[in-house]
Amino acid sequence: MELTKNITLGVYLPGKSFIHNLDPRTKIIAATIIIVLLLFSRSYPAFALSALFIAALIIFSGLPAGYVMRGLKPMLPVLAIMWVFQLFLFKDPDAAVYFQWWIFEATEAGLQMGNLIILRVLFLFTITTFLTLTTSVVSLTDGLESMLKPLQAIGLPSQELVMTLVIALRFVLILAEELEKIIKAQMARGVAFDRGNFIQKTRKIFPVFLPLFIGAFKRAEELIVAMDARSYTGGKGRTKMKTLHMGRVDLGAAALMIIYSGLLIYIITTTEPMI
Amino acid sequence: MRKLIETIDLTYHYRSGTKDEVKALDSVSMNVFQGEILAVTGQNGSGKSTLARHFNALLTPSRGEVFVKGLSTSEKNNVKEIRKIVGMVFQNPDNQLVSSIVEEDIAFGPENLGLPQAEIIERVDWALRTLNLESLRREAPHNLSEGQKQQVAIAGVLAMKPECIVLDEPTAHLDPRGRREVLENVLRLNREEGITIVFLTHFMNEVIHCDRMLVMENGSIKMQGPPVEIFRKSSELKNTGLDIPVASRIAEGLLREGFKIRADIIHTEELIDCLCQLKSST
């Protein structure tokens, strides 16, 4: 039961690559563009190009590729279930039928739909993980804050929202560690999490989350007091240690993104969609 | 000596006004003097944390008053100024670090004060240098040891340049090495930067380094004075559920057995010296 080892979302691995040094706004915008384009991708060549592009980014960043992908492991069962659902439940009267049993029908359309959804989720996950791995939460939120600033004019409390996000991200890992401790404590008292059928297993999970939530609320209260003691009174009147500057690397990144987007849009529009 | 913090007849009730009201502090009158290291001890639930939280207006008295440099903590307009004067470090470092990068967490306080950018950078550098944390500058807190995390928390408070730092059992979660490092740094801040320290602890080996100690029980002050004097009244101290340092306990035992040894030993080094003298004189 090593939960924390598998959590990569929200973790930042410091480094010196040009991707690490990009302005967070550049990275946020780039990630958004990649994600939007992914949602329009419907063909294998399009995914292949994105895969190449993301692989190149990971190599440039100097991050261990295994670490980036490790976070996927806990998601695999969920993905498998999603895939099976799509396979059997996606109906298309024109598609070839592979397999039929009672009311279930595995069609080619279902298979392609399953693949499409899995690919999208995999890419979404990888790109967001990659963003947080190469961007400290602080610069990420600095970027968000500066991008959301114009919305303050229409009454959006952008600084406070961003601070909430900062803290939520910092506590992901702490809560995962706590969850692991609770599970181990219950295992030590004889709870066998890996035994029993699906319902029995699920039932064993509830007593794990109750202490986790109580612990989380306690932490939240302590954190509020600590922030209060350090004179936090909301976004008003705050200054920042770091101000954001876009530089030559950002220009380079923009050029790279334009090339990638252009290529991908070309592929999306010219290749045969999976479904 | 000048008073930095003064409490007058301070009484505090938790859940005030409801039927399960709990009196946590009962008419506490005490002072924290400028430049001293004050240890506040007492068992869990003795009210020491509650008292400490009055020092920078995290709590305000149900009755009585608390003054920080003459400013009443009950006055809302004073709170900002008071928190600049008195900083606070808590027991669990994980629950007080805001940011996922050390230097940016240290900048959190100065940023809240609305300082200009250059000054924030200067203060963060200074705090890191003063606590010898420069090598951890770009680290993520979750990669640090508990002791290092606590040092970062102290640096975060230090960067606000307070005149007084209140530490609420900062060593309770730490291993012996982490405890020693935190204590050494705190003592150094007092010695070299002249920062007044209020140190809450129940480790008597930490208390012996302080100038003065308070012993709390059931929400009021049972004893106060220099540690040497308090530890001589060992039976009275034990009644409050606390113990005396190992060196004092050994000296006390030897004294009872008829050995000629000083009664005011609190440090291990003192004990060793006295024992050596005792040996060479016989």
List of chain B residues whose C-beta atoms are within 8 Å of the C-beta of residue A239: 111, 114-117, 120
How far away is chain B from the Cα of A147, in angstroms, using its nearest Cα? 19
What is the identity of the amino acid at B270? E
For range A199-204, the mean pLDDT: 80
Token digits of residue A83: 């895939």
Every domain of chain B and the residues it spans: 3-244, 245-282
The pLDDT of residue A10: 62
Q: Each residue of A236-255: pLDDT tens digit?
A: 788 888 888 888 999 999 99
Q: Which of A24-28, A165-169, B150-154, B256-260 has the lowest mean pLDDT?
A: A165-169
Q: Does B113 touch chain A (CB under 8 A)?
A: yes
DSSP helix/strand/coil, A25: helix
Reply yes or no on whether the pLDDT at A177 is more than 80.
yes
Residue B178 has what pLDDT? Answer: 92
- Residues with Cβ < 8 Å from B239, sequence gap 6 or more? none
Residues 6 or more apart in contact with residue A251 via CB below 8 angstroms: none
More confident residue, B151 or A196: B151
| pLDDT the model gives residue B158 | 96
DSSP code, position B101: S
CB atoms within 10 A of CB A168: 12
Q: Give ∠ CA B71-B76-B81 in degrees, rounded to 5.
A: 50
> Mean of the per-residue pLDDT values for chain A?
86
Kindly state the average pLDDT of the residues A122-144. 85
Amino acid at A233: T
Question: Which element (helix H / strand E) includes A50?
Answer: helix A44-61
What is the ipTM metric for this complex? Answer: 0.86
pLDDT for residue B225: 94
Element (H, E) at B41: strand B37-42
pLDDT for res A171 = 82
pLDDT reading at A3 higher than 60 = no
Give the three-state DSSP class for B200. strand
Retrieve residue A231's tokens: 């004179």
- Is A231 in contact with B121 (Cβ distance < 8 A)? no
pLDDT lower than 70: segments of chain B: 282
CB pairs under 8 A between A and B: 99
Token pair belonging to B170: 């900062």
Confidence of residue A7 (pLDDT cuts 50, 70, 90): low
* CA-wise closest residue to A59 among A130, A140, A135: A130
Distance (Å, rounded) from C-alpha A209 to C-alpha B32?
Answer: 44
Q: What integer is the mean pLDDT of A151-180?
A: 83
Cβ <8 Å between A136 and B104: yes
Strand partners, A97: A107
For residue A173, the chain B residues in CB contact (below 8 A) are: 142
User: Is the per-residue pLDDT at A1 higher than 60?
Assistant: no
Closest approach of B87 to chain A, Cα-based (Å) = 7
What is the phi/psi pair of residue B53, to 5°?
A: -70, -10
Q: How confident is the model at residue A2 (pLDDT cuts 50, 70, 90)?
A: low
Domain range annotation of chain A: 1-135+245-275, 139-242
Strand partners of residue B10 = B28
How far apart are alpha carbons A230 and A219 in whole angstroms? 16
> B3-244 has which fold?
Rossmann fold (3.40.50)
Q: Write the pLDDT tens digit of every residue in A75-91.
A: 888 899 989 888 888 87
Residues of B in contact with A14 (CB under 8 A): 138-140
Residues of A within 8 A of B95 (CB-CB) are: 219, 222-223, 226
User: What stretch of H or E contains B31?
Assistant: strand B22-33
Q: Is the pLDDT of residue A274 over 70?
A: yes
CB B38 within 8 A of CB B26: no
CA distance to partner chain A, nearest, from residue B163 (Å): 14
Provide, as residue numbers in chain B, all residues whose Cβ is less than 8 Å from the Cβ of A230.
83, 87, 108-109, 112, 156-157, 160
The owner of tokens 């996000």 is: A165
**In this predicted model, what pLDDT tens digit does every residue of B43-69 receive, in sequence order?**
998 999 999 999 999 999 999 999 999
Which run of H or of E encompasses B27? Answer: strand B22-33
Are B24 and B50 contacting, i.e. CB atoms less than 8 angstroms apart? yes
